[in-house]
Amino acid sequence: MRPISEEEKSSACTLSDMEIFIFPELMYSLVLANMLSPRLWKWRELEWFDGIRDMRPKKRLQRLRQHIMDNYTFNLDLDTWGLTRQQTELARFSRFLSPDDIAKSNALFGYQGDVYYYDIDIRRHFGLDKYTSDTIPYWKTETIEAMDAFRHKDGHAVGAGECVSLAGLYAAAAFVVCGIPLESIYLMATPLHSQNFLDIDTGILTNNRRLVTKAMWANGTVISMQARRALEHERVTIVSHATGYIHLLYPEATISPEVYSAFTSKLHEFLVPPADAQDKRIVEPRLPDASRVTFPSVDEPLNLTPDMGYSEISDRLEDLRSSNRAAALAPYAAHELGKTEASPFVKAALERSPVSKTALATLSESEALAKIDSLPAESIYDGTSRLAQPDEVWNFGRGDGLEKCLLAANVVGGDEIVVSGRTACLIRGRKTIFESNTSKRPFDTVWNLRH
């Protein structure tokens, strides 16, 4: 397995759209992080899903669709995760992809999409026209815990997430809850959208919260037109699967070539309208070209099956961390500090949490610390070692003591965080300026914040 850089590890903790574009393993790491979440496994205990494994696969997915429709909305704004700068991110990623390649393929860095689809300036489309041209959003992808936590945010009655978040949730839930084999699930990312193709019956697309069948694809309704736009008017940048990925720009692909060939054929067949279709147009998806890449066998297969329980899957993924990059990055994406070193999580927290900094910038240091201390002392993450990033704590208005310490460090700075017993302290020089009871006990008890 290729070594994993610190940048990749910290990017897994942030999980922004741009980071998934640069590090395509992260798309499947998101799926695995959700599969490792006890929150998702609790869905299997819901009355709504009683007997679901006895239903036909399509019926199972329809039942899942309704649960997601009832409990999550689509959210993509500029305020939730804040802003960064093009030049900052291009410099950060320059050793992985050239700035020119990134700009030609990613909507945040200059890609405009098809003129037919994007008849308005893309920055105005996303509300960025009021900022300088160098300003871009941190559109971070949410795991199931962060998606659920939107219930605590003003203006949200249920959970929420953006398109990659919903695609990752659908893929993980289709496996864990519905028992759909991972081999039947393909994730597709375009420069401005993410959706899944499931090899069930004649094929099913997940599109944000909805499912689209072959018949629906060509029925001419508004919903179907919305579902068609990305595949009609954008290139597919990444196809991600249990066997690996293929990326528009990278010369090597880790996905099984046989699997990718079969997927290509099945997707093309799905996009051919039936004879009685309202919309008879033969959409040609612009998929990454398999002929221009090599397919080295680099990662050990996941070999996960729907009949495996949580412990079996968790143990299997732990065993794979030295031989499968998506599995190795999954605990970072899950914020599982009981299984990772702290430095990538801290790096992501202190370098990529602009919302809390901006929100508390006008307060004095003592006022900011008092505001943080007044937040309800509860985490959005279950367990003792899964932790929220500072902007998650601030956005959702709650955090355990250790999470509050990291939020305070992001806002006012600090030298180290020390966890002792049930107490977490932020140290600046010789002075403790923040302290709170905590139930979170990741394996690191002292975090150096100066790296």
> What mean pLDDT do residues 321-349 have?
96
Cα(62)–Cα(73) distance, integer angstroms: 17
Cα(96)–Cα(432) distance, integer angstroms: 40
Of all residues in the chain, the percent with pLDDT exceeding 70 is 95
> What mean pLDDT do residues 314-334 have?
97
How confident is the model at residue 422, as a pLDDT?
75
How confident is the model at residue 131, as a pLDDT?
78
pLDDT band at 322 (very low <50, low <70, confident <90, very high): very high
The tokens of 349 are what?
């927290």
How confident is the model at residue 274, as a pLDDT?
76
pLDDT at 117 over 50: no
Half-sphere exposure of 321 (CA within 13 A, CB side): 14
How confident is the model at residue 281, as a pLDDT?
74
How confident is the model at residue 222, as a pLDDT?
80
How confident is the model at residue 430, as a pLDDT?
65
pLDDT at 295 over 70: yes
How confident is the model at residue 105, as a pLDDT?
80
pLDDT at 115 over 70: no
Of all residues in the chain, the percent with pLDDT exceeding 90 is 71
pLDDT at 116 over 50: no
How confident is the model at residue 121, as a pLDDT?
65
Which phi and psi angles does 187 have, rounded to 5°?
-100, 135
pLDDT band at 127 (very low <50, low <70, confident <90, very high): confident
pLDDT at 153 over 80: yes
Average pLDDT over all residues of the chain: 91
List, for residues 24-35, the tens digit of each pLDDT value. Answer: 999 999 999 999
399 Cβ partners below 8 Å, 6+ apart? 372, 375, 377, 378, 379, 388, 393, 407
How confident is the model at residue 428, as a pLDDT?
84
> What mean pLDDT do residues 136-161 have?
96
pLDDT at 346 over 90: yes
pLDDT at 42 over 70: yes
How confident is the model at residue 19, as a pLDDT?
96
How confident is the model at residue 113, as a pLDDT?
62
The tokens of 78 are what?
């500029």
Helix (H) / strand (E) containing 61? helix 57-71
pLDDT at 252 over 90: yes
Lowest mean pLDDT among 95-109, 188-202, 362-376: 95-109
Cα(37)–Cα(41) distance, integer angstroms: 7
pLDDT at 194 over 90: yes
Residue type, 275: A
Lowest mean pLDDT among 98-107, 282-291, 336-345: 98-107
How confident is the model at residue 224, as a pLDDT?
80
What is the DSSP track for 410-431? HHH--SEEEEETTEEEEEETTE
What is the DSSP track for 151-209? GGSTT-SSEEE-HHHHHHHHHHHHHHTT---GGGEEEEEETTEEEEEE-STT-EEEETT
pLDDT at 299 over 50: yes
The answer to whether residues 192 and 139 touch, using CB atoms and an 8 Å cutoff, is no
> What mean pLDDT do residues 277-287 have?
81
pLDDT at 258 over 90: yes
Lowest mean pLDDT among 107-116, 154-163, 384-393: 107-116
List, for residues 50-79, the tens digit of each pLDDT value. Answer: 999 999 999 999 999 999 999 999 998 889
How confident is the model at residue 218, as a pLDDT?
81
